[in-house]
Structure 1
Amino acid sequence: MPVLSSFCGAGCIGPIITSLSNCCSQSCDYVRTYEEVMDSLDRDVKHLNSRSRDVTRDMDAATRRGLNPKSEVLQWQQSVEQLDREYARINRRFSGMIKCLCSFPVNLCSSYQLRRRAETALATARELKQRVVDKVADDLDLVRFVEMPNPKTLGMDQVFEELQRHATDDGVSIIGVHGMGGVGKTALLRRFNNDFPKTHTGLDVVILLELAIDYKVEEIQRSLYGRLNLPWQDGEAQRDRAARIFRVLSKLDFVLLLDNLWEPLNHHAVGIPNPEPPTKCKIIFTTRMEDVFGRMGADKMVKMECLAEELAWDLFRLNAKMEPLSNNAYILNQARTLAMKCGGLPAALVTIAQAMASKRTIAEWKNAVSIMEDAPSQLPGMEEQVLDPLKLSYDRLPGDTLRTCASYFSLVAEGCWLSRYYLRELWVGEGIIDDFHGTSDSVFKASYWLGVLNAASLIQRIDRDYFRMHPMIRAMILWVASDCGKKENKWLIRDRIGLVEAPPAEKWKVAERISLGWNRISVLPEAPECPDLIFLHLRDNEPLKKIPNGFFCNMPCLRILDLRQTGLEELPAGIGNLLQLQYLDLSSTRIRSLPTELGALVNLRYFSLASATYLRSIPDEVISRLQGLQWLNMHNISSGWRVGEPGEEGVRFEELESLKRLKVLGISVSTVVALRRLCGSQRVAASTHWLQIEGCQGLTRLNIPSTDHLGEDMRHTIQIRLLAMNELEEVIIGGDLGVGAALLNLEYLRLWSLPKAKLVWKARRLESIQELLIEDCREIDRLIRLDDDAKDGSETMILFPNLKRIMLRRLPAMENLSDGNVVYAFPKLETMEVQGCPNLKKLALVAKEMKEIKCEISWWENLDWEDDRTKSFQHLFKQM
């Protein structure tokens, strides 16, 4: 007891109670902070679980798109899951260990260990919260590009470099490659697909799609699904597939190569994003149809041309295995001829060369050349590899009208240029151009058709006015016209081959179109049977002086007959049998009179007698019976017009006025009365496009325009020629201000053989004149004399703002191109021709666009080269 008493004394119990009290206080503080740790951990784990669920949804969506979740995101999710499980264990133990007895835990040692776990978990939670989970999936498991087989190509380096240059320009997003069939567009795209990704590693994917002609959106989507490793589901809607493709491609730097595009691709329907510059993404497509560029919104166009001659020969020689034949000059010559006939088209060069690779004899090569000239389709592989693919462009033309337009290029010799003016006239006759108001309108319509053919890669534009057809396109059209080789003479084309005899009559029997122009034919078959013939071209056969009487008796369907520039002296009466004839050209022939039977051609739409200077007689009522005429050219002929004067010869003017459908007229008048009658007839004046005024006894002064001669109704006149008027003293430009609308379209003015006349400028500019030709006018001492009222004190005057060509010939009195101190300026003048002007010593004019001065060298050397204005033209000499 004493021991106990002493032990439990006041002195001992106090420290114990203090120690216990301190311990309880620290424990309570510990438990309190422990709960704060658990609360913080609870909040952080809930937040991480919420984020994890969002990430899971994003990963599921990415997986459905075929994307692979990123490993760091998967690891983050696993860490969140582990933390969640750890928190659950800590929370269970914490709840079980805390037995509230004045807030004391049952097992303080265990609670300290659990707290350390909780603090570690909280630190882990905070670290996981700080990680940024942005892109949940890796890029697609893609092959960057699929290398395509591609044969060896030649002559493509320059266009390939151009395509590469555009493809690396971030300011360019859509690029088009244009060219005719067989020119190598597919080979170019395959080369780009194979080579470009190797040197430009920043791209995610390059996809090449070679499209079917009539592709479907689903087909393109299926191809893109395959390249993007997306799972294809047959029941999926096209719109949903497009959305999936869009979501994938919009996250990639891609180049999409589309080969063989005939119509603009609706890339939104497919799901292809529209790249917006600046961008690495590109859409590159090939097409034969030029208008696809604008409709696709292309930024750049790459034009693929056929190979130049030497490159074409290299490609041919490579594929023909020519080395064993390198010492045989004759075979090499034949081989070069074959290569040239391919026109540089790689598909044709390769096909023909491979067909000839096993040929070793002269006879085989000579025979191949002969076949190539007459029927290329008979050479092995030509139909399948060249003609059939080219035929696609022809077949896809919108309607038979354009196919007919294209066919005219195959009716002339290979490589010939055709002008839009010549084609315009043929198409007026054919009825292709019908609803037109004048020559300008008809040219616009012809230009439109030609533009469509050019855009479809079926013809080639030489310049503004001339076009030609590639020899392989021509061969294709002739092949199609022969029912793909089944009817050999359906189109009988023997143009420009030096014929002296026409093909025998039996070859005419099945013909629909015959072209024998630019030959030396003198005799035609007596009475060929041509039940299906609609086109006959005999132009430029100078020896052809007579057509047999029965020649036209068996041509019931003939619509086009071209006899221009033949030596023809008369037409047989049988011409009246051609009741379907719509086009007849007798220009520059030697015909002296027209047969009465010509009046039976009531369907004639186009009739030209231009420059038929031998023509003296046109029977009454022949012209007036041709009520279908829309185009009548009687320009530069000697047959006159009867206008009621006694003793007159020629055609009654009333016949001309009776042609209600007449829209275009070329006419020559030789009396003042006829000129006034012409200009006073509203319909005839409005139809007059070419006007020749000659003779006109008593006419001493002519205003252009004027109320008495060239009046208000002459709005469509484009050419005026004044010639052989011995009494004419002045031709006044703009002298009559009372006819404001007259001659607004006048482009061509010629003064010829006017011994007394001078050209005078009075008041008004003729804005449209492009050509001014003056010859054999011996009194003209200056180009244009200014009327006193026209002088305005200016040192430089613009009289013809659109003049492009001046021709001055045999003007012995010509001394100056200007008038006194006034210098004439011609802002668009390009060409000047001078001949027989010995007294013209200075070139006193302003012409900054001048490109050439054609003249004799003796005249050029005698110019006053001390004159500053003359000296400015010294580099433009071109010898005549």
Structure 2
Amino acid sequence: MMEGAPKFQVGGKLEGISQPKDPQKLSALSMTDFKVYKSRESTFNQVVEALADPNVNMVGVYGLGGVGKSTLVDHINKKVVEDQLFSVVVPATVKQNPVLEKIQKKIAETLGFELGGENEILRATSLHAKLKEEKSILVILDDLWEVLDLKKIGIPIGNDHKGWKVLLTSRNLDVLSTGMGCKSNFELKVLSKGEALELFKNMSELENSDKNAELQTIATQIVELCGGLPISIVTVAGALRNKKDLHHWEDALQRLSNNMGMEYVNASMRLSYDFLGSPELKSIFLLCGMMPYSSFDDLLKYGKGLGLFRGSNSMEDARIRLYTLVSNLKASCLLLESDSGNDYEMHDVVRELAISIASKDKHVLLKLDEWPGEEKMKECTKIYLSYNDISQLPEELICPNINFFYLGCADPSLSITNDFFRGMQSLNALDLSRMHLNSLPTSIRYLSNLQTLCLDRCILGDITLIGNLKNLHVVSLVSSEIKQFPFEMKNLTKLQLLDLRGSKIREIPCKVQASFKKLEELNMENCYIHWEAEAVLGNQSTNASLAELRNLEQLTALNIHIRSDHLLPSDLPFSKLVRYKILIGDVWNWSGKLESSRTLKLKLNTRNVHLERGVKMLLKGVEALYLDELIGVNNVLYDLNEKGFAELKYLSIQNNPEIQYIIDSSIEPPDHHAVFPKLESLILNDLIKLEKVWHGQFKTAE
């Protein structure tokens, strides 16, 4: 969206500029097929009826983990929207250890406004006021594990708002009825035998791929063992999809038969895990399970350090490989598609299995009542300790086989001794999050095999010891408070990814960046560096200039904000960029969604600077383009890129006193046809000389 409030907008159908997909087809493609089976049809209808009842303001759905509660409420959501029961429907996922800020921001995002402020009470007050503006509203809070205080979120309750309703789901009826005060609660039960068999056959493609009577018989037996639990059925079916050999099916049946009761669920998950085959795929799955959140970027950083992407030497290759692995895990039903903006989600039942496998089979330490004995620590391959798991660290950990260590703790009293890492010399990836570190432990210099170092959301003092870790490929300082970017980091000549998103770094010593000759990804989103002009460069104490980017010949991804085009040197290395978010000018900020992996925001005060200082080459493949006050531009197409914008999806133009036309076909090459073939959105704001969007002969795409 545009920065600032628009004064007018130009929209509508842009024939000949782009050919939009049919809306009905687009909707159909994005909607997961869902069938309300007869055994749960009554539950579906009862919940919808309760939501329509003016005397009911809170409705609960409960049932076993994996029974399909989230899927049911997703389609109840679609039903009430279709029937227009509410003016607004706001879904949010709660889960274990809920973070109120995340829930608040999800609700605010759905309502279309940005929820600012660090204070929980102020956010709740702002959200409460916004919700009360709606005549009728349904808030869906999925996956409650414990009582949730709706007032702390900002959701109106009781007589505070007659038009509001809340739909809750939980595994525990007491959480809904006693804890939350739900008077109308409905149990979602497992599928009947016939429905379970139908689901299994559809997911395994048994009916389409093989009519073999033996497979049909085994399928019936497997479904019985799955106990009618959809997630169990789907994961086993996913593991057997397209497998026509009888021995695969017999093996699956045998292994499921050796377990009893609810252990069938874990057995089915384990079966799907074992059928993954690839050690690479299994390792990524276990990493996903260890992490209590969904973060593609962290998976990439950890996986790179652990050497999981074999044959993928570059960061871009590793990223593509990880996308493929995540897609494969989704196809196996071990990961889920996400509707929360993440790249994936993991079902709680599946996560529990991953934790079990990691703990028992891979000697991973994930939960801690007390530190294990010396022999156990020698077997340990990974340690992942979250914020509430640890109150004190030993002087030294002897873990000769460990390759990954994560510690997240916001308690400033927790300290790491200088000898702590002395016995972890095989460590490949280290993440210390939310830590208070006046200096790095001196034993970190022993980590000669370390390839990934993450110090995210930390309060940092002296980190010059990083300069000793010359095998680092990934350094991450996301949202950390750090006084000075150390000059010693110039020794990290193997660095491929540097993530400074949201960090408090303001100055980078001269010549440090220039030493990162193998750097491929540089992320400075929400990081405001005080760059020197190129002419000011002198001794080592001088702050870096953007001219040092010229040395980064391997750069393929760049997120950066350059507050003035006067700081732009010539010949910047933009030609190899595959992904970028580049903001030039003082009017822009990073708020709101940047819809594309290739986003450019421009405010250029110098005439034709876009032609001579590396910016023009970005316009060839840009997908989201934001323009503000471009000196010397009165025709966007001809003045910026006369060959058209083949990949452009989003175009926003604001505050320009000179633009007369967006497109002037009277001076285009005669063979030019669709200049914006993929355009989906056009927003125009405060263009005082604008006469026409299209001037000249209007040509339709062939």
Contact 2:306 2:428 in 1 (8 A): yes
Contact 2:659 2:687 in 1 (8 A): no
What pairs with 1:29-40 in structure 2 (closer than 5 Å)? Answer: none
Match of residue 498, structure 2, among 628, 632, 647: 632
Contact 2:382 2:404 in 1 (8 A): yes
Q: Name 1:74's counterpart in structure 2.
A: none
Q: Name 2:551's counterpart in structure 1.
A: 681
Match of residue 453, structure 1, among 326, 329, 351: 329
User: In structure 2, how many angstroms separate the alpha carbons of the residues matched to 1:293 and 1:185?
Assistant: 21
Q: Name 2:401's counterpart in structure 1.
A: 532
Quickly say closer, same or farther: Cα 1:671–1:793, change in 2 above 3 A: same
What pairs with 1:239-278 in structure 2 (closer than 5 Å)? Answer: 259=219
1:665 aligns with 2:665: no
User: In structure 1, how many angstroms separate the alpha carbons of the residues matched to 2:558 and 2:661?
Assistant: 29
Quickly say closer, same or farther: Cα 1:676–1:410, change in 2 above 3 A: closer
| Cα-to-partner distance string for 1:813-833 (whole Å, 9 max, x where unaligned) | xxx9231264999xxxxxxxx
Q: Name 1:468's counterpart in structure 2.
A: 345
Contact 1:523 1:544 in 2 (8 A): no
1:394 aligns with 2:273: yes
Quickly say closer, same or farther: Cα 1:257–1:580, change in 2 above 3 A: same
Contact 2:439 2:463 in 1 (8 A): yes
Q: What letter matches 1:187 in structure 2?
A: K
Note the C-alpha offset of 1:747: 6.5
1:429 aligns with 2:305: yes
**Which structure has the bigger radius of gyration?**
1
Q: Name 1:601's counterpart in structure 2.
A: 469
Match of residue 436, structure 2, among 559, 567, 585: 567
User: In structure 2, how many angstroms separate the alpha carbons of the residues matched to 1:617 and 1:286?
Assistant: 49
Q: Name 1:615's counterpart in structure 2.
A: 483
Contact 1:590 1:612 in 2 (8 A): yes
Note the C-alpha offset of 1:508: 5.2
Note the C-alpha offset of 1:608: 1.4
Note the C-alpha offset of 1:718: 0.8
User: In structure 2, how many angstroms separate the alpha carbons of the residues matched to 1:688 and 1:454?
Assistant: 26
User: In structure 2, how many angstroms separate the alpha carbons of the residues matched to 1:539 and 1:472?
Assistant: 24
User: In structure 2, how many angstroms separate the alpha carbons of the residues matched to 1:410 and 1:549?
Assistant: 31
The 3-state SS of whatever aligns with 1:591 is: strand
User: In structure 2, how many angstroms separate the alpha carbons of the residues matched to 1:770 and 1:568?
Assistant: 44
1:406 aligns with 2:285: yes
Note the C-alpha offset of 1:761: 8.3
Q: What letter matches 2:193 in structure 1?
A: A
Note the C-alpha offset of 1:733: 10
User: In structure 2, how many angstroms separate the alpha carbons of the residues matched to 1:516 and 1:523?
Assistant: 12
User: In structure 2, how many angstroms separate the alpha carbons of the residues matched to 1:467 and 1:789?
Assistant: 45
Note the C-alpha offset of 1:618: 1.2
Quickly say closer, same or farther: Cα 1:422–1:191, change in 2 above 3 A: closer
Of structures 1 and 2, the one with the larger relative CO (CA 8 A, separation 6+) is 2
Contact 2:656 2:688 in 1 (8 A): no
Note the C-alpha offset of 1:617: 4.6
User: In structure 2, how many angstroms separate the alpha carbons of the residues matched to 1:209 and 1:745?
Assistant: 44
Match of residue 656, structure 2, among 769, 780, 785: 785
1:719 aligns with 2:581: yes
User: In structure 1, how many angstroms separate the alpha carbons of the residues matched to 2:206 and 2:357?
Assistant: 30
Q: What letter matches 1:623 in structure 2?
A: K
User: In structure 2, how many angstroms separate the alpha carbons of the residues matched to 1:822 and 1:388?
Assistant: 66
Q: What letter matches 1:672 in structure 2?
A: A
| Cα-to-partner distance string for 1:492-548 (whole Å, 9 max, x where unaligned) | 324xxxxxx984464856533222224486643322333333222223635366422
Q: Name 1:477's counterpart in structure 2.
A: 354
Contact 1:665 1:688 in 2 (8 A): yes
1:547 aligns with 2:416: yes
Quickly say closer, same or farther: Cα 1:504–1:768, change in 2 above 3 A: farther
Match of residue 708, structure 1, among 570, 576, 595: 570
| Cα-to-partner distance string for 1:619-658 (whole Å, 9 max, x where unaligned) | 43x432x3442212345656677xxxxxxxx5452x5444
Note the C-alpha offset of 1:400: 0.8
CA RMSD of aligned residues (A): 5.4
Note the C-alpha offset of 1:576: 1.1
* TM-score of the aligned structures, taking structure 1 as reference length: 0.41
Q: Name 1:356's counterpart in structure 2.
A: none
User: In structure 1, how many angstroms separate the alpha carbons of the residues matched to 2:460 and 2:473?
Assistant: 20
Note the C-alpha offset of 1:785: 0.8
The 3-state SS of whatever aligns with 2:349 is: helix
Contact 1:761 1:784 in 2 (8 A): no
Quickly say closer, same or farther: Cα 1:769–1:651, change in 2 above 3 A: farther
Contact 2:510 2:545 in 1 (8 A): no
User: In structure 2, how many angstroms separate the alpha carbons of the residues matched to 1:504 and 1:595?
Assistant: 30
Q: What letter matches 1:736 in structure 2?
A: H
Contact 1:573 1:595 in 2 (8 A): no
| Cα-to-partner distance string for 1:87-131 (whole Å, 9 max, x where unaligned) | xxxxxxxxxxxxxxxxxxxxxxxxxxxxxxxxxxxxxxxxxxxxx
What pairs with 1:72-83 in structure 2 (closer than 5 Å)? Answer: none
Note the C-alpha offset of 1:563: 1.8
Q: Name 2:610's counterpart in structure 1.
A: 736
Match of residue 187, structure 1, among 170, 176, 193: 193
User: In structure 2, how many angstroms separate the alpha carbons of the residues matched to 1:671 and 1:602?
Assistant: 27
Q: What letter matches 2:551 in structure 1?
A: S
Note the C-alpha offset of 1:744: 5.0
Quickly say closer, same or farther: Cα 1:458–1:788, change in 2 above 3 A: closer
Ranges in structure 2 where 5+ consecutive residues have no aligned partner? 1-35, 43-64, 69-189, 200-204, 223-232, 245-256, 535-543, 589-601, 634-638, 666-673, 694-702
User: In structure 2, how many angstroms separate the alpha carbons of the residues matched to 1:716 and 1:222?
Assistant: 51
What pairs with 1:242-391 in structure 2 (closer than 5 Å)? Answer: 259=219, 288=236, 381-383=261-263, 385-391=264-270
User: In structure 2, how many angstroms separate the alpha carbons of the residues matched to 1:530 and 1:733?
Assistant: 61
User: In structure 1, how many angstroms separate the alpha carbons of the residues matched to 2:237 and 2:608?
Assistant: 48
Note the C-alpha offset of 1:554: 1.6
Q: What letter matches 1:599 in structure 2?
A: G
Quickly say closer, same or farther: Cα 1:593–1:769, change in 2 above 3 A: farther
User: In structure 2, how many angstroms separate the alpha carbons of the residues matched to 1:189 and 1:572?
Assistant: 59
Q: What letter matches 2:553 in structure 1?
A: R
| Cα-to-partner distance string for 1:141-172 (whole Å, 9 max, x where unaligned) | xxxxxxxxxxxxxx8427999xxxxxxxxxxx
User: In structure 1, how many angstroms separate the alpha carbons of the residues matched to 2:513 and 2:260?
Assistant: 58
Q: What letter matches 1:615 in structure 2?
A: K
User: In structure 2, how many angstroms separate the alpha carbons of the residues matched to 1:730 and 1:190?
Assistant: 62
What pairs with 1:15-30 in structure 2 (closer than 5 Å)? Answer: none
Q: Name 2:640's counterpart in structure 1.
A: 764
Contact 2:408 2:433 in 1 (8 A): yes
Quickly say closer, same or farther: Cα 1:520–1:510, change in 2 above 3 A: closer
Paired residues, number: 443
Note the C-alpha offset of 1:404: 0.5
* TM-score of the aligned structures, taking structure 2 as reference length: 0.51
Q: Name 2:92's counterpart in structure 1.
A: none
Quickly say closer, same or farther: Cα 1:656–1:730, change in 2 above 3 A: closer
| Cα-to-partner distance string for 1:395-430 (whole Å, 9 max, x where unaligned) | 1112111110000122134xx4x1333322322222
User: In structure 1, how many angstroms separate the alpha carbons of the residues matched to 2:325 and 2:584?
Assistant: 35
Contact 1:438 1:664 in 2 (8 A): no
